Amino acid sequence: MKAKNSSFLDGVVRDDDQKHLFPIEYLHDPLPASSPTQHPNALPFPSSLPLGSHFTTAHSIILTPQLGGLPYYSSIPHAYQSKYWRNALEASRTTVYLLSTDAAMADIPVRGGVTLRDIAKKELIDFEHKSMRATVYMYPFCVSKRRLEIIGLLNMLLFLFDDKFESAKDSEMASLITEFLDSLKPTPTSSPSTNTSKPAGTPQTSFQAYIASLIKSTHALDEQAGNTSGAEMFHEVAKLFDNIPSTSFDLTLSSYLAFRREQLYSSWVFAAVKFSLASSVNIHQPKIRNFMMWAAEHGALVNDLYSYEKEMIALKKGMIRDMVSAVPIVGRILGIEDEVECLRKVAEMVVEREGWMSEELRAWEEETVQGREGALDDETWMFLKAVWACVAGNTVFCMTSVRYGGEKARVC
C-alpha cells in the first residue's frame, strides 16, 4: 500500500515495491532550509561480483534517496529496506511494552527519578518512527524474519539502556543487567534459556520469558546454520555492559572518532550484520580492518550530523550538561565559527569516508575478478555489501526518524 501523500517518495521507491514499503512520515534535513541539498557523485557497490540479485531482492527493496532529492547526505546511491519490517516492528514494540508493564523491573529508577517504565512508555508513543526504524534499514539483507526480530529486540534493549550503563553500577539496575548478561551465556547443557542468576523454580515474568525465547531461538539458529554468529553477537552485547566507554578524549579528530566508535556500539552493529546473513565470515580479518573502521566512523559522523539540532536544543534548555558531537569538535579543531559550515564539514567527512571505502572495494574487486592470490571470498564480499548497505541504512534511519527531526520534520 502506498503511503498517504507520499509524492515526496517519487523516484525513491519503485512502484512494484510500494507494497513492501515501511511508511515514511518524517524527513529531517540537518542543514538549514536556505542551504540547498547537494548530492555528491554516486559511489555504487561493485557490480561485477558473483553475489547475484537474489542476495538483495529476496529480502529487501531498493531505495534511491538521491533521485528523490531527499536530505540524504551520502554518495551511496542505493539504500535498502527489509521486507520484514512488520516483524521487526512487532518484536521491538513487544519488548518495550513488556518492559513497561513488568512489575519486577519497570519501576527501577535509572536517574533523576526517571524509571524504566517512564522511558519505555515515552518510546511507545509514535513508536514506528523512532529508534526501531534503524533495524529495518541497517540490516536489510537479513535472511529470515526471526533473525530480524532478534536484532530488533536487542536493538531496543540497547537503546533503552543507552548511556545508563554507568548509572547501573551500585543500583537496582545492576541486578537486571547482570541477569540479562548471565542469560546470554551458554551453559554446559546448551540450554541458554535456563541459565539465569535466579534460583531454580523462580517464576519468570512475561518480559523474562520473552528474552528467554529470544536467546533460545538465537542458539537454535546458530545450530541450524552451523556457525556461532548469534553467540558472537551476544558476546558483543555483553562487552557493551562490561566495558563502559570512557567519556574523555583528546581534542583531535582521531581521538574523538575512536571514542565515538566505541560509544555507538559499532562492534555490536557489525556482529549483528553477520548474524543477519547467517554468515561464518571472519569480520576481524586484517585485510578489511580499515574498511570496518571507516564504516564505524561513518555511523558516528552521520549520527552527529542529523542529531545536532536536537542536541543543541537540549543543551540550551539545560536538559543536558554537555554535547558530545563532531560538529562543535570540528569547529574547534579547524577554527570554524559558523555553525552551518561546521555541519557542512561533517557532511563532507561522511562522503570522504565513503570514498575511502569505495577505493578499497574497487581494488578488491580487481583482485577478485583477476583471480589473484589473497582475493576476498564470496562470503566476505556478501558481508561487505551488507556493511555498505548498513551505513547507507543508518543515514536513512537518521533522516526518517522523528527522534532527530521532531514534529517539524513531518511530511505527511
Q: Mean pLDDT throughout 54-61?
A: 81
Of 48-62, 87-101, 145-159, 310-324, the least confident: 48-62
The span from the CA of 64 to the CA of 412, in Å, is 19
Q: What is the pLDDT at residue 277?
A: 96
Which range of 184-198, 256-270, 362-376 scores highest in mean pLDDT? It is 362-376
58-72 in b/e burial notation, b at 16+ Cβ within 10 A? Answer: ebbbbbbbbebebbb
Report the DSSP pairing between strands 79-82 and 109-111.
Answer: unpaired
pLDDT band of residue 240 (cuts 50, 70, 90) is: confident
Sorted by where each begins, the domain ranges of the chain are 22-167+227-236+244-409
CB atoms inside a 10 Å sphere around CB 191 = 12
The span from the CA of 115 to the CA of 136, in Å, is 28
Q: C-alpha grid cell for residue 284?
A: 576481524
CB atoms inside a 10 Å sphere around CB 313 = 12
pLDDT band of residue 167 (cuts 50, 70, 90) is: very low
The mean pLDDT value of the chain amounts to 86
Q: pLDDT higher for 374 or 324?
A: 374
pLDDT band of residue 202 (cuts 50, 70, 90) is: low
pLDDT band of residue 192 (cuts 50, 70, 90) is: very low
> What is the tens place of the pLDDT at every residue in 281-336?
999 999 999 999 999 999 999 999 999 999 999 899 888 888 889 999 999 989 99
User: Which positions ≥6 away from 14 have C-beta within 8 Å?
Assistant: 61, 62
Q: What is the pLDDT at residue 391?
A: 98
Cβ-contact 8, 27 below 8 angstroms: yes
DSSP, residue by residue, 229-257: HHHHHHHHHHHHHHSPPPS---SSHHHHH
Q: Mean pLDDT throughout 176-188?
A: 65
Q: What is the pLDDT at residue 255?
A: 85
Q: What is the pLDDT at residue 352?
A: 96
CATH number of the structural domain 22-167+227-236+244-409: 1.10.600.10
Q: What is the pLDDT at residue 38?
A: 61
Is-above-0.85 flag for pTM? Answer: yes
Q: What is the pLDDT at residue 191?
A: 44
The span from the CA of 197 to the CA of 278, in Å, is 29
Q: What are phi and psi of 201, to 5 degrees?
A: 90, -5
Q: Is the pLDDT of residue 168 over 50?
A: no
Q: pLDDT higher for 196 or 322?
A: 322
Q: Which residue has the cell 547507507?
A: 392
Q: pLDDT higher for 104 or 144?
A: 144
Of 146-155, 195-204, 379-388, the least confident: 195-204
Nearest residue to 14 via CA among 77, 88, 64, 87: 64
Q: Is the pLDDT of residue 363 over 90?
A: yes
> What is the tens place of the pLDDT at every residue in 109-147?
776 677 888 888 999 999 999 999 999 999 999 999 999
Of 35-49, 96-110, 392-406, the least confident: 35-49
Q: What is the pLDDT at residue 73?
A: 95
Q: What is the pLDDT at residue 408?
A: 93
Helices of type H across 39-102: 54-57, 85-101
Q: What is the pLDDT at residue 233?
A: 95
Chain-centre distance of CA 193, in angstroms? 26
Cβ-contact 305, 327 below 8 angstroms: yes
Q: pLDDT higher for 252 or 39?
A: 252
Tell me the helices (H) and strands (E) count for the chain, helix number first. Answer: 16, 4
Q: pLDDT higher for 33 or 344?
A: 344
Q: Mean pLDDT throughout 90-102?
A: 92
Q: Is the pLDDT of residue 162 over 70?
A: no
Nearest residue to 302 via CA among 350, 254, 361, 360: 350
